[in-house]
Structure 1
Amino acid sequence: MKNKLRILTFFLCLSFISVHVNSDAVAAEGDKKETLNVLFIGNSYTARHNLAQVVKKMVEAGNPNLTFNPTTVIYGGRRLVDHWNLGSQNFVKLHQLTPEEEKQTIAGLEKDAKDPKNRYAAAALKRHRQLLKELDQEHPKWDVVILQSYRDDLKGADSLYAQYAPKFAELAKKQGARVILYETTPNTQNAKALKNPPVAAAAVMEKARAIATLAKQVDASAAPMSLAGFHCQTERPDLTLRFINDAHLNQTMAYLTACCLYAALFDRSPEGLPVDSITDIRYFDNKDRTKDRDGNPITTMFSAKDRADLQRIAWKSYQEFKALRDD
């Protein structure tokens, strides 16, 4: 009888240990974080306010078990056509890039860098030489590639953006990455509060339809900033979207942009995200690091109302754009 009790006790202990170990394994699996590797290709409209890092804060706040890993390839004032000439497509296909391809790109940039009018070839050459040195290292495989426009998206199907976004998108798709079109709207951002409703509704919708057609063509999502800016100007005319002393997007527009990118990344509303501040990277007179280009605090803290309105407007704009794309 005692032996039977000992045997029964032994198996009960084994069962308890097994259940405990399995529970720990399940818990560990639940705590395991996934990583989203995202490549941003753009210019100062991506660099300002450390936009990729703002998106990271929003993404990780809204998805606690997700690590957002952004990489940026940025050249000031450059468009996608310029990025192509500077070899940025190599970063899109980084996971499959060969040394021979990178050496060929470097050879072309060495010639271009001799031209004093080519301001960015030298910077690109330095970047690609470093890439060649690191090519045998492990690199992330992109989950998402974000392609920024800049004054190259104003002529519909004839625009340079419409010509080069598909080239980059094709490479991204071959790597298994999704594509997001980040449409900027420097022509419509307001530096002062509006006293009257914006009057560019027809032009905004025409551009939105053109970007939607492009997005459908390349099977992409989008951050439709002309639409978002228009809705913000209509519903919150007291808010400004650019600096007075600097033509770039201000903190408010950067927040709105990050919210639109969040929506495009997850097809989900950014409403309720706790991120409440934006800090620019350019200073007043390039001296006072506590003030932005207009002399206001370098960091904008958004009120609960402003934050809620910007998040709501971003989601509304994204949904409207999505309907245009899927029509």
Structure 2
Amino acid sequence: MTNIGIIPKELDKQADRYFNNQPLKVLFIGNSYTYFNELPQLTQQLALSAKETRKLEAEMVTVGGATLEQLWQEGKALSKIRKGRWDYVVLQEHSTLPITNPQLMYKYARLFNTEIKRAHAQTVFYLTWARQNRPETQQILNDSYMKIAKELDAIVAPVGIVWQQIQQENSNLSLYDPDNSHPSPIGSYAAACVFYATFYGKSPEGLSYKTDSKKLTAAQENSTSELDSLKAADIDLIQSVAWNVVSKFDSQK
């Protein structure tokens, strides 16, 4: 008699092999906090350095200064969600809206999340950082993102919390652009470490940010130049803080 139990097991193995060879596809939706220093590409490079079986493929729909409301109404982000077979869709709200008008943020976060779920992907909220001259607002940002993420059963990439802890441990690390708002290349690198840890559930410790110099864009050249000046101890600090914070978030789910 044929043991029919073998068939699903073999099919499961084939499905696992197929799934594990497929790229991890991520769509970033946001504004300049996402496209400064080409954050998606920095995250991809960490995955390449880790030699992940599932290569990271990242795209972004971004508009400078945009809110989720504007990105929703503009339509390109929604079209991209519906057309792509994404694993994760990252939502980044305007830097101050979660402080000044969280209810408006929640309205469009809910709309985006509904479409993301219909596309069989997971929503990731990009929890951003306080302005350099307004550090007291970080807790409001944290609370706003955590509240909507809990409501929607979504994931949080706690970049702002990681920035805050890095600054507490080494105030000489310049995470901010001179405008006190946007990320420096070092700040974007810290964000990339958070996203790598969030997507793969692994520590970014020991991974490299270096890319093929022949394929660098102007933004990547700028990032690489500044990151090359970092001491090994500073890179270790950024990577370890990113993992410590993300792993705590994972354990609280």
* Interval of TM-score (by shorter of Structure 1 and Structure 2): 0.7 to 0.9
> What's the secondary structure of 2:86's corresponding residue?
coil
Change in CA separation of 1:299 and 1:280 when aligned onto 2, cut-off 3 Å: farther
Partner of 2:37: 49
Normalised TM-score (structure 2): 0.79
Identify unmatched segments of 5+ residues in structure 2: 1-13
Contact 2:127 2:141 in 1 (8 A): no
Aligned residue in 2 for 1:208: 142
**Residue 248 (structure 2) pairs with residue 304 (structure 1):** no
1:314 aligns with 2:248: no
Name 1:177's counterpart in structure 2. 121
The separation in 1 between residues aligned to 2:51 and 2:222, in whole angstroms, is: 32
CA distance in 1, matches of 2:92, 2:199: 14
Deviation at 1:76, TM superposition (A): 1.1
Name the CA shift for 1:64/1:313 in 2 (closer, same or farther; >3 Å).
same
- Counterpart of 1:165? 109
Aligned-residue identity in percent: 26
Cα distance between partner residues in 2 of 1:185 and 1:144 = 21
Q: Which residue of 1 aligns with 2:6?
A: none
Shift, 1:218, TM fit: 1.6
Stretch deviating more after TM superposition (267-276 or 219-228):
267-276
Distance verdict in 2 for CA 1:72–1:60, change over 3 Å: same
Q: Which structure's relative contact order is higher, taking Cα pairs within 8 Å and 6+ residues apart?
A: 2
1:91 aligns with 2:35: no
Q: Is the 8 A contact 1:260 1:315 kept in 2?
A: yes
Alignment of 1:1-327 (within 5 A): 33-87=21-75, 88-94=77-83, 140-150=84-94, 151-155=96-100, 157-158=102-103, 160-188=104-132, 200=136, 203-244=137-178, 247-275=181-209, 281=218, 298-301=225-228, 302-322=230-250, 326=253
Residue identity matched to 2:236: A
TM-score (norm. length: structure 1) = 0.62
The CA RMSD over aligned residues, in Å, is 3.0
Q: Relative to structure 2, which stretch is displaced further, 237-246 or 222-231?
A: 237-246
How many equivalent residue pairs?
231
Amino acid at match of 2:145: I
Cα deviation, 1:116-139, whole Å, max 9, x if unaligned, reads xxxxxxxxxxxxxxxxxxxxxxxx
Could you list the runs of 5+ residues in structure 1 that have no partner in the other structure? 1-25, 95-139, 191-197, 283-288
Cα contact 2:176–2:187 (8 A) shared by 1: yes
Runs of 4+ in 1 over 6 A off after TM superposition: 289-292
Amino acid at match of 1:179: T
The 1:149–1:321 alpha-carbon spacing in structure 2 relative to 1, beyond 3 Å, is farther
Q: CA deviation at 1:205?
A: 3.2
Give secondary structure in 2 for the equivalent of 1:65.
coil
Contact 1:263 1:315 in 2 (8 A): yes
Q: Could you tell me how far 1:44 is from its partner in structure 2?
A: 1.4
Determine the C-alpha separation between the residues in 1 that align with 2:109 and 2:67.
10
How far, CA to CA, are the matches of 2:166 and 2:44 in structure 1?
Answer: 23
Q: Cα gap change, 1:256/1:65 in structure 2, threshold over 3 Å: closer, same or farther?
A: same
Structure 2 vs 1, CA of residues 33 and 321 (structure 1 numbering), >3 Å: closer, same or farther? closer
For the residues of structure 2 that align with 1:224 and 1:152, how far apart are their CA atoms? 17
Tell me if structure 2 keeps the 8 A contact 1:143–1:177: yes
Distance across 1 between alignment mates of 2:100 and 2:178? 27
**Kept in 1: contact 2:49–2:207 (CA 8 A):** yes
